[in-house]
Structure 1
């Protein structure tokens, strides 16, 4: 403290704290000064603003209470915790009170967050500081959260898997009050090279040239700084600022350190330490430095107050940061490559080592971005059964700039309606093996574009240990699955999809986590409650998975950062939040729901999980305005898609899970002559209040994976080609398959989803390799060759493609809610209008109608634009071309003034478009 050196001054002005010194911006582009920025986050405020406004607001609130009036802050304007209930006309006192209490809990949670983070954006940007990052001071920094550990190190093949070599001795800073551990891995000086004279010498790892390569020597920079900026005596510098704290930390907390507090020697108090320091520096040469002293007011404080002479304080504050001189000490990538080799080279394998009260542990880092769960058969891209349980490790992914993937395409614009193609990369090939990202990019993406979809939704992309779990037992939330390729391979997939105009969504699993301990987060730092609840609440009741502790700010920091990571790093366009019912209820959704609002606010509702979902939607939509979030919830929780300011959860779409269950139940258990048209329509339209927020599908992967049956297998799987009625059964199956997809696609909602292969009636289910099938990959693939031959599957694909074109040309899904004016259970006919389009379905297995009357809203001429019975779709072509144009009759039918008389064969659907309006 007696001398403020040039280097310490430089660090004071330009080097942030350890937590913030290694952000992605600095890692990629070298150091840059970070100034306070304006933000679009309406719910985000800085910690400074929060602390400045809090006393004033609290005094105002007290004054208002004295007057008997309420008080509202700027953040509360326009916020109504029960707004959506009012809008929907729902009157339920218990649920309204629950929403008010939830809103208050959200405000308290934000107060706690702002005590530790500048704003909510920083809360969701943990990936900028945690994990492994390159730092401009020719080193790599690693940070991890492990509050239960008493020592932390990085071990790997770059240091012989040693917990001390190249870890603690070279700059291990330990942990802060929240349990965050910071490790510095110095780059290696090449043989024959001399170390830098400055401990803070910085290198631009990305660019080949900057001011540091201009030929100016360090001595010239210092002389210039001393002459123009520094006061006399301020030009001294230290060689290594990490040496002393690293040695102390290794001595106190390293692997060979005392294991109990009793074994530790007493640490002297502050007064004793200060006197010892003063005695040590009593012979230091005098300098024109600010005088420092300690104010001892007699109170027993462990930390003394440091006093600086007021004139010197003002003089110090008036100085501008010496940025120009500091910039000239930087060097570019060429200088870095010449002098250093990376402390942890690209491709190195590593794990994090913890010394805990219960003994040493090795774990795959929680923030690792590339993880190998075991050894792989590279030729077949398969994991042998005995390798699935082998110990996993992280891979340091830091390709040199010339090899790193460079983005080529911008994100597509947000469409008015979504036609989502759900897919799994591993089973996307036609060979019995695990397909790769590159194979998917080459073979599947062009097919998706040709099929007419405008988005893909990927399941199982995030790293998981066991392949047979389809990717739902996630182990490493920040890593793409190494089974399919590298992080750069996945970036190429997303980029090429964007180039084709396709949005990319991820099926994100934050509702539970894998229970594995050697890989994943379970017992991560040796404690049972690091990321998850302890006891029964920390275990899913039926699936054996772990349940996150959503009320913990550090767990929120991890999960919210994870969402932001996939958008920032991989340019994804949205998420489907998997199985919300597992997280929103302590019974994990496995309970009987009576339909009463009490089910959604009783003692089994996890309020912390709801607060997490509100924060996730608020932050994602504020940081990325075009993001799309989809809720998969089987319990129809009220307010899923309502604004968070009005008491909702803020999702853009919700999945109507009743529709695929209905179709499966009807096809398996009910003869088609007994189908109820009223039940079909009622299930398809769901909650009419949320019609424009609904995502529907006739079937997704749940119906065809691991033991389930796809609709095509239900309709065609039992048909024997040699039986006399096989032709009729095939005709029936084809007709129902097309009709179920068309009515599901067009009757409601602005989003439709289809699983990979269902667009052409894939004949086989999906079954991942597991012990029950002797780890076979025979059913873990897609039979794309069926599209090459004429027949049933090519016909199905032709129909599905024309169905997608119908929305692309006519904007079916983006139109308002349809007028469903005809539902007849006896004739089994359904008819509705959506804009100028008229949809008519005859589900009757035998009865055809020559002139069936259906009401229409406008008088005029209607043209048939889609017919499920066309021969090109595998139909019979019963309707002639001369019947494609129909003119209305002035007759009241279905409550409408005009009607059409249309030919309506059995098991057929037709779509008419109003071509010309007739004025009467």
Structure 2
């Protein structure tokens, strides 16, 4: 039997071939069990049947609650009291159903379930509710009838992101404005989308979309999986945002949190029908020890129906272009990968791996690409599970990309622990390009993780308190000069060597100062650090715009050159004592002098006979530099001896500078 390409490409996986094949077989068997000869899309239709729906002559609401003994619909329409008219009928397999006349419900009504089970009862927000809202005074959540007369009419229903390498702008709706409050879908559509478009990114990743009770959770403690968060606006306003983005040529993806769910019972799925085990594992396996949340049971067909329907729902109802799956490491391992170093292949192929979660990823990725072949599927995974972002046909689990989570950790560790003059160029290149050859990664210098309170962004680590006093152009400061130079170089090195895609968190491209801290008791419920100060990047008297101007130029080059579609990144040269690094991608040569004090004249980079032009460099005055590089020149390689000897490209390399050169047509003289 021929082994899949995943194993053919990595001989170290051969001892685990039987485990890899058995996992695939188990996933296929689960797919056959679920689909019964149909497609995964056909199976993932729960949202079209469960939940509240308008019919030709009224309404119908359905739910799955196998432990329930009675369910009443309560709300504005019956003064929140149990009435027989609003009692659901048990139909089959733990399912419940209620038909109502047209005048028994109306758009905007608030509602919930009063659910009874052996030995108890309680109020519950329906698990399949597609609109949930919170009372500003009581802070109580309720489901909301969402059926406006004027629904959003899609202007760009056929948008397709194509196959362009993703340049991702990670965003949060609520903190996307300057005021100390929660901002809205409409404000993001009007004010932030044009910024993202102008900045050169092609994909918007939006955090915290499914409803979550605690704003400060960054959306990672989800309560209502089918309801977009109402704190930012209405479902139709979210649709208008996505539609507008598509009109600008921007794809939109969301964080998908299927790794766990908030424990809340009134707002969430916790003990929904009186049992913990309806959606989640019972006992210790069902609780995440670090996140204080419940863990889904991926071996239960009804749970798979819920989660896979959730995937289809966001792709079709809101026309999102894909997902970043959160907490994949936690899902893959029974111990959630906590405290594990993952130093051996045996760490990935043992009883600690949750094979049911592995099957779920197979099903989820197959479904996503069945619905939209060009949709993005990105795994936030830190253990390095082989094959995670390899195609299913080749023996992998089918994610398009995995997050290169080691890259930002490397940069932070380097800045914190190693003096500039001791940075190792070979190590930098290795850390930026180290990945499995059959997988693509999303590379990034920093995301929202590095900006959270308790941590520091790259710019804040580099400049620290001087950001408060010396960011005006008329205030010379060597610490600020260093920080700005390295900020540009770190981003250029990370983006130009990215393994298929690149990500930036909102505002970090211009060195947004300070940190992210959502309103909480510890900060007296302040919004001061839960916003973005765009005005400082727009202010021509401050240095911030130099960083965003550089980032925009870099993004435009990457897109025009289709740089990240070129898979190979070739190491050309590095010199540890001099701190020079050069690598090549296609026709583009990227050269760095990380040396903090020494500039070099006529520095030789060994290449084949060729000629180059400088496209741009970090030292340009428009980016806050000193214009030390002559961009008008054409640079030819020169032989060290005869014509057949090693050629060198001799360059002037100012201290703390990176440059991008393009190879020009060259006719070799024989």
TM, length-normalised to structure 2: 0.95
**Alpha-carbon contact 1:82-1:99 (below 8 Å) kept:** no
Q: 1:133: which partner in 2?
A: 53
**Alpha-carbon contact 1:541-1:588 (below 8 Å) kept:** no
Q: 2:567: which partner in 1?
A: 816
SS of 2:557's partner is: helix
Q: 1:383: which partner in 2?
A: none
Q: 2:194: which partner in 1?
A: 446
Match of 1:539 among 280, 287, 303: 287
**Alpha-carbon contact 1:81-1:103 (below 8 Å) kept:** no
Change (3 A) 1:762 1:143: same
Q: 2:612: which partner in 1?
A: 862
TM superposition shift of 1:112: 2.9
**Alpha-carbon contact 1:856-1:896 (below 8 Å) kept:** no
Q: In the alignment, does 2:471 pair up with 1:740?
A: no
Change (3 A) 1:527 1:896: farther
Q: In the alignment, does 2:648 pair up with 1:887?
A: no
1:712 & 1:557 partners in 2: Cα distance? 44
**Alpha-carbon contact 2:67-2:274 (below 8 Å) kept:** yes
2:631 & 2:154 partners in 1: Cα distance? 50
1:879 & 1:392 partners in 2: Cα distance? 60
Change (3 A) 1:815 1:892: farther
Task: Say which structure is richer in strand.
Answer: 2
Match of 1:835 among 579, 586, 592: 586
Change (3 A) 1:355 1:91: closer
Match of 1:752 among 476, 499, 502: 502
Q: 1:90: which partner in 2?
A: 12
Match of 1:902 among 630, 651, 656: 651
Q: 2:135: which partner in 1?
A: 375
1:896 & 1:871 partners in 2: Cα distance? 37
**Alpha-carbon contact 2:322-2:368 (below 8 Å) kept:** no
Q: Mind listing any 5+ residue stretches in structure 1 that lack a counterpart?
A: 1-78, 188-341, 378-386
Match of 2:110 among 306, 324, 349: 349
1:432 & 1:717 partners in 2: Cα distance? 23
Change (3 A) 1:866 1:344: same
SS of 2:296's partner is: coil
Q: 1:729: which partner in 2?
A: 479
**Alpha-carbon contact 2:163-2:374 (below 8 Å) kept:** no
Q: 1:340-419, aligned counterparts within 5 Å? A: 342-372=103-133, 374-376=134-136, 387=138, 390-400=139-149, 403-409=150-156, 410-419=158-167
Post-superposition Cα deviations, 1:192-223, rounded to whole Å, max 9, x if no partner, equal xxxxxxxxxxxxxxxxxxxxxxxxxxxxxxxx
Q: 1:483-882, aligned counterparts within 5 Å? A: 483-690=231-438, 693-719=440-466, 721=469, 727-790=477-540, 791-857=542-608, 859-881=609-631
2:391 & 2:641 partners in 1: Cα distance? 41
TM superposition shift of 1:82: 4.5
2:141 & 2:379 partners in 1: Cα distance? 32
**Alpha-carbon contact 1:131-1:142 (below 8 Å) kept:** yes
Change (3 A) 1:105 1:809: closer
More displaced 10-residue stretch of structure 1: 457-466 or 668-677 = 668-677
SS of 1:519's partner is: coil
1:501 & 1:107 partners in 2: Cα distance? 36
More displaced 10-residue stretch of structure 1: 611-620 or 623-632 = 623-632
TM, length-normalised to structure 1: 0.70
Q: In the alignment, does 2:28 pair up with 1:113?
A: no
**Alpha-carbon contact 1:150-1:357 (below 8 Å) kept:** yes
TM superposition shift of 1:502: 0.2
SS of 1:598's partner is: helix
Q: 1:173: which partner in 2?
A: 89
**Alpha-carbon contact 1:102-1:607 (below 8 Å) kept:** yes
More displaced 10-residue stretch of structure 1: 667-676 or 603-612 = 667-676
2:480 & 2:630 partners in 1: Cα distance? 23
SS of 1:618's partner is: helix
1:119 & 1:92 partners in 2: Cα distance? 32
Larger radius of gyration: 1
Change (3 A) 1:156 1:892: farther
TM superposition shift of 1:688: 4.5
Post-superposition Cα deviations, 1:16-68, rounded to whole Å, max 9, x if no partner, equal xxxxxxxxxxxxxxxxxxxxxxxxxxxxxxxxxxxxxxxxxxxxxxxxxxxxx
Change (3 A) 1:444 1:896: farther
**Alpha-carbon contact 1:584-1:610 (below 8 Å) kept:** yes
The count of corresponding residues between Structure 1 and Structure 2 is: 663
1:892 & 1:744 partners in 2: Cα distance? 35
TM superposition shift of 1:726: 6.5
TM superposition shift of 1:686: 1.8
Change (3 A) 1:118 1:722: closer
Q: 2:668: which partner in 1?
A: 919
1:399 & 1:579 partners in 2: Cα distance? 35
1:636 & 1:892 partners in 2: Cα distance? 46
Q: 1:131-170, aligned counterparts within 5 Å? A: 131-136=51-56, 138-168=57-87
TM superposition shift of 1:661: 0.6
2:436 & 2:294 partners in 1: Cα distance? 35
Q: 1:182: which partner in 2?
A: 97
Change (3 A) 1:528 1:900: same
**Alpha-carbon contact 2:614-2:631 (below 8 Å) kept:** no
SS of 1:105's partner is: helix
TM superposition shift of 1:685: 0.6
2:340 & 2:457 partners in 1: Cα distance? 27
Change (3 A) 1:885 1:475: same
TM superposition shift of 1:721: 4.4
Q: 1:458: which partner in 2?
A: 206
